[in-house]
Structure 1
Amino acid sequence: MARTVRDYVTFLASKGFILGEEAYGFIEFGQQYTDTSDEIVIIAIELTLKIQKEFDGSFYISLLEQFKAEDILNRKQAFHHIQTLNLM
């Protein structure tokens, strides 16, 4: 798994999923706004893409805010939270 957000975005690009400039802005803003680690940002990007089938900046930021509010610190907790909300 990618260790930094930049690594993850590069990984996505290598798989043919190119994020636009607007997406990069949301990703950076969301991470700074919520003061969230790269690991949680990567999870939020991944879940946004899986649930929305595209990058939705508002959804991504909402996930980051929820993860912060619920003190979610890892992938297992994040997926459990999403499942309890019936989003996946």
Structure 2
Amino acid sequence: MSMSVGEYIQYLQGKGFPFEEDAIGFIYFGMRLTESSEPVVKAAIEITLKAQKRFDGSFYISLLESMKEAKVSNRAEAIRFAKRKRLLP
């Protein structure tokens, strides 16, 4: 069974990634705005943290919008997308 977005945020917090209240709001706002699936949202959070070294709400929203436009539908596609865009090595 995979984690929900909320469980994933809690998991990351347990690993030492701090999320302010507004960051959590941004995560769910972006999810609704782009109508993205939970796997894509979790991948966008992961990519944002790896690329920015912190949670950057505007980067995250822009990433979700770009992935929606590219019709990214799962984590593997999201990682490939991020590598193509040179956001990840």
Instruction: Give 2:58's aligned residue.
Output: 58
Distance (Å, rounded) in 2 between the aligned partners of 1:62 and 1:18: 21
Unaligned runs of 5+ in 2: none
Distance (Å, rounded) in 2 between the aligned partners of 1:67 and 1:44: 9
> Structure 1 vs Structure 2: percent identity of aligned residues?
47
Maintained 8 Å contact 1:2/1:11: no
TM-score (norm 2): 0.92
Instruction: Give 1:24's aligned residue.
Output: 24
Q: Which moved more, 1:67-76 or 1:49-58?
A: 67-76
Computed over aligned residues only, the root mean square deviation of the Cα atoms, in angstroms, reads: 1.3
Aligned residues: 88
TM-score (norm 1): 0.93
Unaligned runs of 5+ in 1: none
After TM superposition, what 4+ stretches of structure 1 lie above 6 angstroms from structure 2?
Answer: none
